Structure 1
């Protein structure tokens, strides 16, 4: 709860509110967390818009790290730009403005910069943005915004509208499917190459480091370890996973595990929980403070430098962004040499250190000199341009090539850019991103890494989008939303929040009994895992209660009952059941649909009229991913474990206290699991990699395959791969991945000896005519599903879903309760002796 502080009194929460900034961060050169709390990883190699406001922008330059076990990116510099000035923060700690060094504290009309500690620099602005720049041991950045700037921001930090599901909004106005496609759209320089999704797992390249990392990183997630008190506030499992990955790709001489501990400690501190002495408690490297400084876990060195004594107008603000590091002890001030001295020993400053008037300096081989506080440079050698490009200089042009328009960003934010001479497209033409000049109406559109020409139409969910002059124009239909679960407790909520929770009980996954009155509601969906090994799940039992009926899905079959428990034959008006491919489809009268693979995969599709009415493990369905971990008592948790435990259907079950790590408990299975699951990284799924991020599915596949330690190896593996294939299909990318040797589906089972009507389709279309639906099954805007599909001949055009055969209408079977009666067959009612 970012802006609230809660107290539990008599079983309910009492909350107070204060103005706190909502933060975006870029840590370890690749780990992003948006203003709306969506986390992702992107290894970019270019300059990108991190955040853009009405009249300011923050750009970050990412480069390949100089050394490391595998490819890894590092933050090289941060550029804050406003209409009046530009400030560049370098990874070596220097600050540049107008190509000249800046001494701290720095004060302007709208920006104030001072050193918060030995590790952090704080930037305060007059327009509601504040920033922390970490320089040691690596460069990281944290941006805070207060709520009165909501709905104005764009860039890699998202759009700050309280809806996490649309944070991957590209510069062309379309939500992208992967972090790479999203981030590539926000390049400052269109000439940079696009960066794809990272395929390699760094821990596979160094198993010795990986094993040590698992042991040391475990302190983040263990429920009895040092950070346990923060688990309710900040989810530790994402930091645990990141800790291992960063340790395996860490540049030589760098302690990346301690960096992750620092990030988690700062995240906890931003929620109000300061961990004093966490470095000593986690056996991390201690920071030795020089020159009489002391180390603080909640540092604020504002007005503690000698320069601050001369800058009496500097008003240090409480940013709400927590930092730590070395600072001078109370009563001492830092001079230019970094020594802490008493105020009596401090010199005085006027306008800081500058070049003397007329003093010359050479920058990038261009002679410059100082005059009237500005650095004036001679014109560089004119560049030869390829037609139709034209050359612009910095005498007749304000920005030159530094603010060139492109098809991706047609109106770039030029605030604070240093003029750069060079070749640009002439007036009336625009750079298409490939170095060619085109008319604006000829600009292509980008989506999920693919390029589309003007006039092309694509489908995004239930809406159609058409490319016009480099931007997408989309219909605004309200679409259904899907909650997904598969394997050993892998969930994706209606709003897109992924989490892992593998409980040993019945749990409420979705219901509309969500207000304080427990009687106000109409339906409830409950699931239970059915284990098949010491750590694995082979199937699910699902109960869907609506009105006075209940449908139960278990053991690959279904039964419909009255709530009293007696078998019911008159339930068609409440539940309609179909077999489509490998799946069983349940269509309820309230608009909810279930798609079940008869094992562990379950998809719950909710129509738009259920928005803001749902609760359970599938979340609230309000398009805000950040509050999906709302527990049964309506409080918000950061922990998937606490959230999941709160939705137990029975209080007799014990809570889950820790997330299992099957590959650590069954290390002999890890190599096999990684080898099998690597199919998700190969060319088989290459066309889908730009549409759907494969990494979460790969990690889930390895985990589940390690868990199947008592049989069911292929069951767990095949379910995980099928889950990624289904996600690809939903994104419009059909992948035919099954083979006779890899998770085969035997459709010949349904074929009679003299016919071959059943065939496997990786992405079948629901258009089969059935006995129950002679005109064809109508499921609305329904996804394509893999499985066995019949091609019924003209003489027997209808599929009998009970018998799974093609028949004429007069040969259709009947259903009475749970009993299937063939055509012309009879059944006797034992209670009334009636013959039907």
Structure 2
């Protein structure tokens, strides 16, 4: 349960600070949501830009800076240090990834930013940043109200507090929300709607959430959503209430609770791609054909989103949606179906339900003699031997199809008597001592007489070729 290290913004201009204050600030400029304000050089910052849409305010851009890495998230793309990237991307201890609903940035510095690509952003910080932050998320000192909305004994209004954290941007013209509105009068006017929201969120089906999460901030947000709605704009009204219920459900799941399936086909419905199904609480680590044990190894908090039905995995090979694991294909140079075989130099692999099952294929052995004294066996053993005789390099006697003996003549070198040289190689086919094939150090070849390369034996089975080195 890391609720006390989370700041979030959602829906109809709602904000919840790290210290638990919930307020509304209807700004549509670019703002500092949270940044490290105690260091001479800021280690990180998260800026957000909100815009108005027909269904209510949305977040059009989230800009994150961590040390010298800048990441800009928009609905259609992700840009890192000015260059468009394809997700997932890893850079300097930062991971940016996405699923069907969220784009998520995680930094090893203890910073997580999650955006639903619409109206909601959540920032989670490591406790080491306590009492070190500034921005719309507050100072993270564990004390509500003070420092944010009461400073030096003076009350600071929500609009005044929000406007203080506007990020100057000469390329974007926007107007600060008025700081003269009577915010207390608005709260008093909306109080009559509080009972409806309390009945909604105190319902028994939300009991798991009330045990792990303070519901009062969300009752307050719900009250404002109902109070400030316009009768003629039903889409906006529903969207605002859905956003607050979604936020409560999202934070409940993150805190370890089990939110109910509160959505219906006609109320706050979510459409999922492929044949995926929506759930208020599921593992963000989705099993796929390529990685079937991802969920088992997952250490992340549950989230809301679109998931594969039980008994299926996501087909990340052909991108056909959720399929039974036994129908998974394999991929190498192309896509292979179950039962298809891939043959490589030293092994043969068969595709079986998305997994490669490989067996080794016996290949030709290699034995070498270098500089007349350095030997490497067929099994890779290396050794040095100096001799003055003919030695058996290799032979096969008990094979009916191919019998041979290969001899090497090693003698002291003419120029360096302490070294040995390979003077000749003798090959006996079918153990025929009278029909030896002799390869000499000067490059000449004899088979009962000198022969010219390339050369093929009379039986047409053995051939010799001349190469630049051998």
TM-score w.r.t. length of structure 1 = 0.32
Q: What pairs up with 1:246-261 in 2 under 5 angstroms?
A: 247-248=229-230, 255-261=239-245
Among candidates 36, 39, 55, match of residue 19 of structure 2: 36
Q: What pairs up with 1:720-739 in 2 under 5 angstroms?
A: none
Normalized per residue, the structure richer in strand is 2
Instruction: Determine the C-alpha separation between the residues in 2 that align with 1:132 and 1:154.
Output: 19
State the Cα deviation string for residues 720-748 of structure 1 (Å, max 9, x = none): xxxxxxxxxxxxxxxxxxxxxxxxxxxxx
2:329: which partner in 1?
344
Instruction: Determine the C-alpha separation between the residues in 2 that align with 1:139 and 1:98.
Output: 24
Between structure 1 and structure 2, the one with the greater Rg is 2
1:196 aligns with 2:178: yes
Instruction: Determine the C-alpha separation between the residues in 2 that align with 1:240 and 1:67.
Output: 20
1:238 aligns with 2:220: yes
1:56: which partner in 2?
44
Helix, strand or coil: the match of 1:267? Answer: helix
Superposition deviation, residue 82 in structure 1: 2.0
1:97 aligns with 2:84: no
Q: What pairs up with 1:596-675 in 2 under 5 angstroms?
A: none
Instruction: Determine the C-alpha separation between the residues in 1 that align with 2:224 and 2:237.
Output: 19
Contact 2:250 2:303 in 1 (8 A): yes
1:785: which partner in 2?
none
State the Cα deviation string for residues 298-336 of structure 1 (Å, max 9, x = none): 233336568x86xxx9xx97454x421102355324469
Contact 2:286 2:307 in 1 (8 A): no
Instruction: Determine the C-alpha separation between the residues in 1 that align with 2:81 and 2:287.
Output: 26
Superposition deviation, residue 182 in structure 1: 1.3
Instruction: Determine the C-alpha separation between the residues in 1 that align with 2:182 and 2:316.
Output: 46
Contact 1:297 1:325 in 2 (8 A): yes
1:161: which partner in 2?
141
Instruction: Determine the C-alpha separation between the residues in 2 that align with 1:22 and 1:216.
Output: 29
* 1:251–1:74 Cα change, 3 Å: farther
* 1:255–1:290 Cα change, 3 Å: same
Superposition deviation, residue 142 in structure 1: 0.5
Contact 2:206 2:260 in 1 (8 A): no
Q: What pairs up with 1:552-591 in 2 under 5 angstroms?
A: none
Helix, strand or coil: the match of 1:255? Answer: helix
Helix, strand or coil: the match of 1:264? Answer: helix
Helix, strand or coil: the match of 1:40? Answer: strand
Instruction: Determine the C-alpha separation between the residues in 2 that align with 1:55 and 1:66.
Output: 33
Contact 1:219 1:227 in 2 (8 A): no
Among candidates 98, 117, 120, match of residue 140 of structure 1: 120
Once the two structures are overlaid, the 10-residue window that deviates more, 39-48 or 148-157, is 148-157
Superposition deviation, residue 100 in structure 1: 4.0
Instruction: Determine the C-alpha separation between the residues in 2 that align with 1:218 and 1:21.
Output: 22
Instruction: Determine the C-alpha separation between the residues in 1 that align with 2:247 and 2:241.
Output: 10
* 1:256–1:30 Cα change, 3 Å: closer
Q: Aligned residue pairs: how many?
A: 307
Superposition deviation, residue 199 in structure 1: 4.8
* 1:177–1:78 Cα change, 3 Å: same
Contact 1:242 1:260 in 2 (8 A): no
1:227: which partner in 2?
206
1:129: which partner in 2?
111
* 1:253–1:36 Cα change, 3 Å: closer
Instruction: Determine the C-alpha separation between the residues in 2 that align with 1:347 and 1:303.
Output: 22
1:80: which partner in 2?
64
1:326: which partner in 2?
306
* 1:292–1:348 Cα change, 3 Å: farther
Superposition deviation, residue 174 in structure 1: 9.8
1:742: which partner in 2?
none
Instruction: Determine the C-alpha separation between the residues in 2 that align with 1:51 and 1:317.
Output: 28
Structure 2 gaps of 5+ residues are 37-41, 335-470
1:179: which partner in 2?
158
1:273: which partner in 2?
257
Q: What pairs up with 1:291-330 in 2 under 5 angstroms?
A: 291-302=274-285, 304=287, 318-320=299-301, 322-329=302-309, 330=312
* 1:288–1:60 Cα change, 3 Å: closer
Instruction: Determine the C-alpha separation between the residues in 2 that align with 1:181 and 1:194.
Output: 9
State the Cα deviation string for residues 264-316 of structure 1 (Å, max 9, x = none): 22233333321232224x9734434332323232233336568x86xxx9xx9
* 1:59–1:146 Cα change, 3 Å: same
Instruction: Determine the C-alpha separation between the residues in 1 that align with 2:29 and 2:152.
Output: 21
State the Cα deviation string for residues 80-137 of structure 1 (Å, max 9, x = none): 11233222222x353222444332222112211222x4222322111111122112xx
Instruction: Determine the C-alpha separation between the residues in 2 that align with 1:120 and 1:345.
Output: 28
Q: What pairs up with 1:269-418 in 2 under 5 angstroms?
A: 269-280=253-264, 284-302=267-285, 304=287, 318-320=299-301, 322-329=302-309, 330-334=312-316, 339-340=321-322, 344=329
Q: CA RMSD in A?
A: 4.1
Q: What pairs up with 1:749-768 in 2 under 5 angstroms?
A: none
Q: What pairs up with 1:530-569 in 2 under 5 angstroms?
A: none
1:370: which partner in 2?
none
Instruction: Determine the C-alpha separation between the residues in 2 that align with 1:318 and 1:154.
Output: 29
* 1:150–1:58 Cα change, 3 Å: same
Helix, strand or coil: the match of 2:278? Answer: strand
State the Cα deviation string for residues 498-555 of structure 1 (Å, max 9, x = none): xxxxxxxxxxxxxxxxxxxxxxxxxxxxxxxxxxxxxxxxxxxxxxxxxxxxxxxxxx
Superposition deviation, residue 244 in structure 1: 0.8
State the Cα deviation string for residues 626-682 of structure 1 (Å, max 9, x = none): xxxxxxxxxxxxxxxxxxxxxxxxxxxxxxxxxxxxxxxxxxxxxxxxxxxxxxxxx
Helix, strand or coil: the match of 1:166? Answer: coil
Once the two structures are overlaid, the 10-residue window that deviates more, 186-195 or 103-112, is 186-195
* 1:197–1:323 Cα change, 3 Å: farther
* 1:196–1:227 Cα change, 3 Å: same
Instruction: Determine the C-alpha separation between the residues in 2 that align with 1:348 and 1:174.
Output: 69
Structure 1 gaps of 5+ residues are 4-19, 205-209, 350-836
